[in-house]
Amino acid sequence: MQKNDSAKNKKSRCAEDLRNRVLSLDIAPGSDLDETTLSAEYGISRTPLREVLHRLAGDGYVRLEDNRGAKVVSMDLSVMRVFFQTAPLIYCSVARQAAENRTSAQIAELKQIQSRFVEANRDGPIERIALLNHRFHEQIGEMAHNPYLFASLKRMLVDHTRLSQTFFDPQTPADERRIAQSIEQHDAMISAIEAQETALATDLTLQHWDLSRDQIERYVRPDPLPLDVISMKDRSHAI
């Protein structure tokens, strides 16, 4: 029994660590994942490792290719086009339903995540800040109690968190002000969701997306974005 528990723990640790490494860009988008290397690194055999990779593929972190193994999901232009089209729609729908369906316990957890996020912004590495921001938005997704939206949100957050490494790496005073504003917006979103003010929660969420959007777009090449992406962004303001 203890041996089985140990194997499960190794698989869980492997899955969690690989998720974080993908989100923090420790493993670059599009990278091949060598099973032999990973098996040795995490101390698990190939069979449980493949189970982990299948789980990560289901969550949108990895792509499995016939006869070619596993590869971290890419962030090429076609992926980014869909991301920018979809993000404001998903975020706003999630926020509205979170305000409608949240529980007191979930609000308390969201406040704890926000407290850790604020602390990380004072002295934490960029990777920790980005991962806590990921957890903040994931928690709001859980509060919506909508499995269809939550699945879409989790996939979208894989790319958003990777892109956010640039947002949380301020290069100018203006960048630092944007980060401070994002922290304030988190607090406002918590208050709106707790008060079940659905319209305000939706509006704040769209403002929060707009704050980071321009910074995130710097990652995308070529620049400017294709016209269909720009058109979709403009339409998002009408939500």
Pair 139, 109: CB distance under 8 Å: yes
CB atoms within 10 A of CB 236: 19
For residue 4, the model assigns a pLDDT of: 59
For residue 180, the model assigns a pLDDT of: 96
Pair 220, 208: CB distance under 8 Å: no
Pair 200, 93: CB distance under 8 Å: no
For residue 77, the model assigns a pLDDT of: 82
For residue 184, the model assigns a pLDDT of: 98
Give the three-state DSSP class for 96: helix
For residue 9, the model assigns a pLDDT of: 87
Percent of the chain with pLDDT over 70: 87
For residue 3, the model assigns a pLDDT of: 55
Where do the CATH 1.10.10.10 domains begin and end in the chain? 2-72
Q: Cα–Cα distance between 93 and 95 in angstroms, integer?
A: 6
The pTM is what?
0.85
Task: From first to last of the 239 residues of the chain, give the pLDDT tens digit.
Answer: 455 557 778 999 999 999 999 999 999 999 999 999 999 999 999 999 999 999 999 999 999 987 778 999 998 888 888 888 899 999 999 999 999 999 999 999 999 999 999 999 998 899 999 999 999 999 999 999 999 999 999 999 999 999 998 889 898 999 999 999 999 999 999 999 999 999 999 999 999 999 887 767 665 544 444 444 444 444 444 44
Angle at 139 between CA 134 and CA 142, to 5 degrees: 130
CATH fold of 2-72 reads Arc Repressor Mutant, subunit A (1.10.10)
For residue 239, the model assigns a pLDDT of: 43
CATH fold of 77-236 reads Four Helix Bundle (Hemerythrin (Met), subunit A) (1.20.120)
List pLDDT tens digits, range 16-64.
999 999 999 999 999 999 999 999 999 999 999 999 999 999 999 999 9
Where do the CATH 1.20.120.530 domains begin and end in the chain? 77-236
